[in-house]
Structure 1
């Protein structure tokens, strides 16, 4: 029987278990002038920041329907939810956090969905990037934002892959220590504080030897 993995002193063939991406596609969503209810700030509030979490698929919303006219493809229907945390400053200078979620994003797309054994599990995943498109404004008791969302939908599954490897990773470099607040400790360490090269004053450059020159020393 032939050797499926011939020996190579600089490379070897290894099998790893990975989550392989079988299919992916991208879409965009926009939410203009989305209002966020603000708590009682006790006066005028000012917008500070808003951070978005990665979108998640609501498990109960997933419906996969094979397409008879397109072998290996299926209709995927699911709902994506993107949540956020907005931060505002009240009249007293205190920071207030306001959690919330954007309107649910309903997706109805065609995906590659090949037939497989019943024991194999496909995973439908999404990755999102959400950003403010125009400066946020505060109108009355609402924070008004316009948000754009990039959505990447993926179909993944755990498989065993054979890849070329070059052995274990090399020894990592030493960690960089955070600077201490003890100046004497740093000064007494010659590695941290080397001897100054300008300890002595600079010398006059030596002149080019010739028939006449003046030596000031």
Structure 2
């Protein structure tokens, strides 16, 4: 922490700050009782698309597919106690991961050449599903929390007549943006599979996103395919941290109240250029960092060269 007129302010703490502790305060916070981190490679997961004649035609006629990017659209989690193991809970998690794919199709006569000779590129976004289950310690305890809002000169107003909150364990799933590793088209003659065009069974917000992505204004003449003969699969790398937290009261040392001393800077009609002047020029956007600017990148490259020389994969 630093000092401002002999007051401790937010920042790094040192030994001198410890002598300025004023009181012990009781706060109600979400305490993390247990957590774990996961690094999952989701291999050859079927990609779901809106079940339309256009989408079936694209998949059945594509000569290649490339995975452009991936993002987590939604996460569902369910907590259940582990039988005969007090304080432990299973956390069942379902990830809905959107993947944007480039489909390479034979070029239509008379079209403007694209970046790939002899092909048209159509971009579509689908979704893959990934389930996982972990066991974490969440402790015990079960209380109901009711709240009311103070009303001066009248009866206090209940915020709700239902339970506002409890101290049962709460799951929290933190995810980094996935890495799109690979995509492929499988033929039904090579590998049997179920028809997975069941967008209606997806959460409403995810299904709506897919329907919005499906229409790109392409007026290509498409005949209705009776049955899909191929499907798309994608391989995605996913990093996540799963936590179990409970609402608890903790006793912590406090220095004092934390007043806000910084003045807000607002962009108004009078000073938009003044605000712009405070923004540093983004040199990195114009001059991307080179390999030796990234910590460990040169060493990683040498390691890969060494593995290649030894014939390792």
Same fold by TM-score, threshold 0.5 exceeded?
A: yes
Specify the alignment match of 2:258 in structure 1. Answer: 168
Does structure 1 residue 132 correspond to structure 2 residue 179? yes
Change (3 A) 1:46 1:32: closer
Q: Normalised by the size of structure 2, how large is the TM-score?
A: 0.42
Q: Which runs of 5+ in 1 are unaligned?
A: 1-7, 193-217
User: In the comparison of the two structures, how many residue pairs are matched?
Assistant: 167
Specify the alignment match of 2:212 in structure 1. Answer: none
Q: Normalised by the size of structure 1, how large is the TM-score?
A: 0.56
Is the contact made by 2:70 and 2:180 (CA closer than 8 Å) also made in structure 1?
no
Q: Which runs of 5+ in 2 are unaligned?
A: 1-18, 50-54, 106-119, 145-165, 187-229, 278-313
Specify the alignment match of 1:96 in structure 2. Answer: 124
Q: How does 1:1-217 map to 2 (within 5 A)?
A: 11-38=22-49, 39-40=55-56, 42=58, 44=62, 47-53=67-73, 55-58=75-78, 62-67=80-85, 73-74=87-88, 76-89=89-102, 95-98=123-126, 100-107=127-134, 109=135, 111-116=136-141, 119=144, 121-129=167-175, 131-132=178-179, 134=181, 136-139=182-185, 142-163=231-252, 164-175=254-265, 177=267
Is the contact made by 1:81 and 1:101 (CA closer than 8 Å) also made in structure 2?
no
Aligned alpha-carbon RMSD (Å): 4.0
Select between 169-178 and 21-30 the one with higher mean Cα deviation.
Answer: 169-178
Is the contact made by 2:93 and 2:131 (CA closer than 8 Å) also made in structure 1?
yes
Q: What's the CA shift string for 1:112-139, capped at 9, x where partnerless?
A: 34343555632241424362262x3342
Is the contact made by 1:23 and 1:156 (CA closer than 8 Å) also made in structure 2?
yes
